Amino acid sequence: MSDEEETASQLTDKQKMEIAKWFLLNSPAGEIQYVARDIRAVLKNERVYRAAVAEAFPLYNKAHMICLEFPDRSGEVIVSSFSEIDKNEYLDPRTAQVARVDHVKQVCEDARPANDEELPSSYIEEYRCALDAEIIKYVSEAYPKGVCSVYCANGKDVEEPGSDFELVVLISAARHSPQNFCNGSWRSIWHMEFKDELQIVEVRGKLQVGAHYFEEGNVQLDAKHECKDSTIFQSPDDCAVSLTTIIRHHETEYLNSLQVSYSNLPDTTFKDLRRKLPVTRTLFPWHNTLQFSLTRDIQKNLGLESSK
Amino acid sequence: MEAAMGLMRRVPPKHSETALSALLSLLPQHSSDLLSQVDQPLQVLCDVDSGKEFILCEYNRDADSYRSPWSNKYHPPLDDGPYPSAELRKLEIEANDIFAIYCDHLNDQTMDRYYEGGISSVYIWEDENEGFVACFLIKKDGAKTAHGKRGCLQEGSWDAIHVIEVGPVEDETARYCLTSSVMLSLTTNNDSSGTFNLSGSIRRQMNMELSVAEGHLCNMGKMIEEMESKLRNSLDQVYFGKTKEMVCTLRPPSEIIEMRLPDS
């Protein structure tokens, strides 16, 4: 024990902070506050704890694309690297507001109108706004509690046809029911590259689904998928409709494939780990194990014993 | 310690080894509690005498060596490691033989192929109150590169730990306290559905007062078999079922939406 205590005292504050950060960043959807409470108790060092929390929460909030309501309830802002203006400021293009966020409390403290430099040109805004309207319709149909937003990731100052630009669609749906020991989240990121010369829009999607069930145990689902598609470069309204159709199609397909993965579990996948019942469909003859030593002796005598 | 166990309940089960070593370095004063309360994936070593693999755990460890149940030798060799009494060692040998067959019985299509499906080890030692403790370990690697017969798993493991405390025999009966944990991880991966990983661990207890007429091994075996099928069913139906339910809550399958549309 004394040896181990020595090694522990050699753990620098920096190492302790890295460990704390690792636990925080690996928190399941919606559980970072609980993890923070426990890591604080384990660390027993407020300074290290505060440093870890200050670094981990912004990363976690952006990776999990958490949604925060504006104080005046005018809408929600998604915290993500696409909406980030600076460390504590996140843009909501729909309401043209910038939210000031407290990462550790996970709340939006106040909001200000976005500057002109923070918003796309009116040419881009036409595409963005049309796509946003279609995506809102789709998300309200497909997700009982989904939040979505469309950002301009590249070329926001393009003012007329002739140049490339890129929009990004984020869809984030989370469900937290700690009273049922269950949390989960669905996150989609869709990159739409409008290629002016080729007159096509290239679509890249990244979907991530997580779920955690922890009543008397700890079971987690971690599923990821990436896909690609494309459509022709048309008017803002036509693009919005065809891009939303592409997203709907791929997300529906992916949900179906998740269902298939689940329904394959009992019959095939799980059987490779442990059968429900032996092939003979009878329980093991514990009361008569003598038979095994006999067969084994015979096999040994015949030189048949498997040689592993 | 409570907070440490709280963290272990939330960390992704596939990272439990990293999490445990992190906690051990933060809380060295609790290392023995952590090692006994946190289950971690089982490791194996090869017995130099018999060539068979055996499983490592806290119960066959002394310093940095582990005792093999096949040759009863420590790996790497150790001068003064503890051994079970001659009587318990006899039971241990028998338990290892039978348990190896039990594992094949569950994993194999045919009964005549030993040691193909998974690895098992049983360790038995005296405890303070005139009884003994037995630890039954099973490790199965179901990946398509290992023992997975159907080849549908990119990665998959089933690690089971059963610890039974057996009380002294009184009036031809003994008290058996079984604590079982299963750790499981499975990943499938293909172009159309991406990577799909489910991992988890659960722990349960079972206490029984049984007649020793048919022997300790028979009683312990029956309890373990019953417990294993309970654990497998809860993982399959409750735990996996709950995560599936969560996915369908987040984004209900389209049939449901279509059915709802006329109303809205």
CA–CA gap between residue B155 and residue A284 (Å, rounded)? 28
A4 CB neighbours in chain B (<8 A) are 24, 28, 31
pLDDT(B151) > 70: no
Q: Are residues A242 and A126 in the same domain?
A: yes
Instruction: Return the pLDDT at B40.
Output: 83
Identify the CA nearest to A30 among candidates A106, A115, A127. Answer: A106
CA–CA gap between residue A77 and residue B169 (Å, rounded)? 67
Helix axes A122-142, A236-264, angle to 10 degrees: 30
pLDDT(A305) > 50: no
Query: What CATH number does the domain containing A80 carry?
Result: 3.30.1140.60
pLDDT(B264) > 60: no
Which helix (H) or strand (E) element contains residue A157? none
More confident residue, A304 or A48: A48
For residues B232 and B240, the answer to whether their CB atoms sit within 8 Å is no
Judge whether A304 lies within some domain: no
Judge whether A281 lies within some domain: no
pLDDT(B80) > 60: yes
Judge whether A240 lies within some domain: yes
Those residues whose C-beta lies under 8 Å from the C-beta of residue A34, and which sit 6 or more positions away, are A27, A178, B6, B10
Does the CA dihedral B89-B90-B92-B97 come out positive or negative? positive
pLDDT(A295) > 80: no
CA–CA gap between residue B125 and residue B9 (Å, rounded)? 30
Confidence of residue A306 (pLDDT cuts 50, 70, 90): very low
CA–CA gap between residue A173 and residue B7 (Å, rounded)? 24
Those residues whose C-beta lies under 8 Å from the C-beta of residue A245, and which sit 6 or more positions away, are none
CA–CA gap between residue A238 and residue A240 (Å, rounded)? 5
Q: Are residues A89 and A156 in the same domain?
A: no
- SS3 for B99? helix
| Mutation to test the B interface, candidates A227, A270, A283, most B Cβ within 10 Å | A270
Which stretch of A42-46, A59-63, A137-141, B114-118 has the lowest confidence by average pLDDT? B114-118
**Minimal-distance CA residue of chain B relative to A143:** B251
Tell me the average pLDDT of chain B. 86
Give, in order, the Cα–Cα distances in Å from A178 to each of A214, B7, B252.
9, 15, 20
Which helix (H) or strand (E) element contains residue B80? none
| Cβ neighbourhood burial of A24 (10 Å; 0-12, 13-18, 19+) | buried
Instruction: Return the pLDDT at A53.
Output: 97
| Mutation to test the A interface, candidates B196, B203, B233, most A Cβ within 10 Å | B196
Confidence of residue B143 (pLDDT cuts 50, 70, 90): confident
Q: Are residues A179 and A234 in the same domain?
A: yes
Strands A217-232 and B43-46, bridge-based pairing: unpaired
More confident residue, B99 or A101: A101
Token duo for residue A146: 């989904």
Judge whether A291 lies within some domain: no
Instruction: Return the pLDDT at B113.
Output: 37
| Mutation to test the B interface, candidates A208, A216, A220, most B Cβ within 10 Å | A220
pLDDT tens sequence across B1-39: 899 999 999 999 989 999 999 999 999 999 889 988 888
Q: Which domain holds residue A145?
A: 120-268
Confidence of residue B141 (pLDDT cuts 50, 70, 90): confident
| Mutation to test the A interface, candidates B136, B250, B258, B263, most A Cβ within 10 Å | B250
Q: Are residues A227 and A127 in the same domain?
A: yes
Instruction: Return the pLDDT at B114.
Output: 34
Q: Are residues A58 and A70 in the same domain?
A: no
Instruction: Return the pLDDT at B39.
Output: 84
The arithmetic mean of pLDDT across residues B80-85, rounded, is 91
* CB-nearest partner of B10 from A31, A269, A274: A31
- DSSP letter string, B181-245: EEEEEEEEEETTTEEEEEEEEEEEEEEEEEE-TT-HHHHHHHHHHHHHHHHHHIIIIIIHHHHHH
Does the CA dihedral A129-A131-A137-A143 come out positive or negative? negative
Distance from CA of B58 to the nearest CA of A (A): 16
Those residues whose C-beta lies under 8 Å from the C-beta of residue A152, and which sit 6 or more positions away, are A93, A120, A124, A128, A165, A166, A167, A168
Contact A218 B8 (CB under 8 A): yes
* CB-nearest partner of A35 from B7, B101, B152: B7
SS (H, E, C) A120-154: CCHHHHHHHHHHHHHHHHHHHHHCCCEEEEEEEEE
Contact B3 A175 (CB under 8 A): no
A254 CB neighbours in chain B (<8 A) are 193-194
Judge whether A36 lies within some domain: yes
Instruction: Return the pLDDT at B137.
Output: 95
Q: Are residues A250 and A128 in the same domain?
A: yes
Instruction: Return the pLDDT at B108.
Output: 45
**Minimal-distance CA residue of chain B relative to A7:** B25
Tell me the average pLDDT of chain A. 90
Token duo for residue A44: 């027993």
Contact A220 B51 (CB under 8 A): no
Q: Are residues A76 and A102 in the same domain?
A: yes
pLDDT(A137) > 50: yes
Which helix (H) or strand (E) element contains residue A69? strand A67-69
| Cβ neighbourhood burial of B182 (10 Å; 0-12, 13-18, 19+) | buried
Distance from CA of A156 to the nearest CA of B (A): 32
Distance from CA of B128 to the nearest CA of A (A): 23
Instruction: Return the pLDDT at A36.
Output: 97
Domain count, chain A: 3
Judge whether A292 lies within some domain: no
**Minimal-distance CA residue of chain A relative to B110:** A279
More confident residue, A18 or B110: A18
- Please give the interface size between A and B, counted as residue pairs whose CB atoms are below 8 Å apart: 282
pLDDT tens sequence across A182-237: 999 999 999 999 999 999 999 999 999 999 999 989 999 999 999 999 999 999 99
More confident residue, B62 or B144: B62
* CB-nearest partner of A142 from B18, B22, B257: B257
B111 CB neighbours in chain A (<8 A) are 280
Q: Quote the DSSP letter at residue B169.
A: P
**Minimal-distance CA residue of chain A relative to B50:** A308
pLDDT tens sequence across B161-187: 999 999 999 999 999 999 999 998 889
For residues B185 and B157, the answer to whether their CB atoms sit within 8 Å is yes
pLDDT tens sequence across B194-244: 899 999 999 999 999 999 998 999 999 999 999 998 998 888 888 899 999
Which helix (H) or strand (E) element contains residue B141? strand B132-141
Give φ, ψ of A191 to 5 degrees. -95, 130
pLDDT(B116) > 70: no
Contact A221 B246 (CB under 8 A): yes
Judge whether A190 lies within some domain: yes
Which domains does chain B show, CATH number per domain?
A: 1-36 (no CATH), 84-259 (3.90.1150.210)
Q: Are residues A258 and A159 in the same domain?
A: yes
Contact A217 B202 (CB under 8 A): yes
Tell me which amino acid residue B223 is.
M
Scored b (16 or more CB within 10 A) or e, A229-265 reads bebebeebeebbbbbbebbbebbeebbebbeebbeeb
More confident residue, B50 or A190: A190
pLDDT(A61) > 90: yes
Contact B193 A216 (CB under 8 A): no
Contact A218 B15 (CB under 8 A): no
Identify the CA nearest to A208 among candidates A258, A242, A244. Answer: A258
The arithmetic mean of pLDDT across residues B113-120, rounded, is 60
Those residues whose C-beta lies under 8 Å from the C-beta of residue B90, and which sit 6 or more positions away, are none
The residues that bridge with A184 in the sheet, in sequence order, are A175, A211
Give, in order, the Cα–Cα distances in Å from B47 to each of A145, A149, B71, B73, B141.
56, 59, 7, 8, 19
Q: Quote the DSSP letter at residue A10.
A: T
Q: Are residues A191 and A139 in the same domain?
A: yes
Instruction: Return the pLDDT at B105.
Output: 57
**Minimal-distance CA residue of chain B relative to A38:** B3
Q: Are residues A18 and A59 in the same domain?
A: yes
Token duo for residue A128: 């963005």
Q: Are residues A107 and A138 in the same domain?
A: no
| Cβ neighbourhood burial of A25 (10 Å; 0-12, 13-18, 19+) | middle
For residues B152 and B188, the answer to whether their CB atoms sit within 8 Å is yes
pLDDT(A272) > 80: no
Percent of chain A beyond pLDDT 70?
A: 87
Q: Are residues A124 and A229 in the same domain?
A: yes
CA–CA gap between residue B56 and residue B39 (Å, rounded)? 12
Instruction: Return the pLDDT at A279.
Output: 57
Judge whether A226 lies within some domain: yes
For residues B251 and A251, the answer to whether their CB atoms sit within 8 Å is yes
Contact A255 B115 (CB under 8 A): no
**Minimal-distance CA residue of chain A relative to B193:** A257
Which helix (H) or strand (E) element contains residue B137? strand B132-141
Q: Which stretches of chain B are DSSP H helices?
A: 2-10, 16-26, 31-37, 86-107, 216-233, 240-250, 254-260
Query: What CATH number does the domain containing A225 carry?
Result: 3.90.1150.210
